[in-house]
A and B are shown apart, each in its own frame.
Chain A
């Protein structure tokens, strides 16, 4: 469990360093898609942590959920852009709600563990 957390933190730091050192800056047009994708990925990560807390963690579900959520969110934003509807708002709301839900559940589990 702790090894997993450390690995995750190490991966995050590595990713941050990598992202900072890539000389590429995305065009502003794609900023919206990327933001929604990042939100979806964050949601997946929290979902994974929750699943781990509940001892229901499945690697395949986690990985596939991570990427499919990110891609779907970005695709939704793209389609919304084409249709003239701010569909990415749907992704933002859905993932945001789930993010807070997951966070709440994780919190409860943590409290339960401490007691």
Chain B
């Protein structure tokens, strides 16, 4: 055989060896690695999951926004409730209030030494206090008290001889009646000619009216319990 034959034989064997080993390695690589179809599948799945993820993220954002709105609404409602409660307490006279107003001081006629005149026998009665309170209310007083007892919706002013009870508490002369409202209106309502002050002065009662820019009326201090009255549920 010629040299070229040997050479070609060697070359062919070399190429064949390379080819076979290459194929071997590629096949082994495929077995170890991921098949092409699987990779495509995974890519598809990844894309799907990414889409899902972005959708879910959008949903989460939406929900957190709604949650925020609800929370805000709740705090608003709470605030409204608190406001309402404060208003109700103010209306019921449970809180101390302050503002411009007048102080009306009533005192029994001075006892004349040695006794005597009819005027000196007169003592201030519950009706007198009631009329003053009524007059002041009519003149627009927003809060009233007698000797520190706040006049509320169910306060009584009652003759319990020889004292006057206000809110089940004895009050003694001199009676200090505080009223918050427009001082001029309150004062003029009492001092109208032929009015209450004139009447009381005629009876010998000592009346003093003092306007204030700012006075404080305490809140109703007793606890109120409705044992018999129940609210009517409508509907």
Contact = CB atoms under 8 A, between A and B. Distances in A.
Q: Is the interface of A mostly helix, strand, loop or mixed?
A: helix
Nearest to A8: B13
B12 A44 contact: yes
Given A3-B6, A59-B4, A41 B15 contact: yes
A62 B12 contact: yes
A22 B2 CA distance: 32
A77 B92 CA distance: 99
B14 A11 contact: yes
Interface stretch (B19-27, B78-86, B118-126): B19-27
A34 B43 CA distance: 27
Contacts, number: 116
A45 B29 CA distance: 27
A4 B22 contact: no
Interface in B13-51: 13-27, 29-30, 33, 36
B233 to A, nearest CB: 80
A14 interface: yes
B20 A19 contact: yes
Given A38-B20, A48-B12, 12 more contacts: A4-B5, A11-B14, A15-B16, A18-B14, A26-B22, A34-B23, A34-B26, A41-B19, A45-B12, A57-B5, A62-B8, A70-B19
Interface of B: 1-2, 4-6, 8-27, 29-30, 33, 36
Interface of A: 1, 3-4, 7-20, 22, 25-26, 28-31, 34-35, 37-38, 41-42, 44-45, 48, 57, 59, 62-63, 66, 70
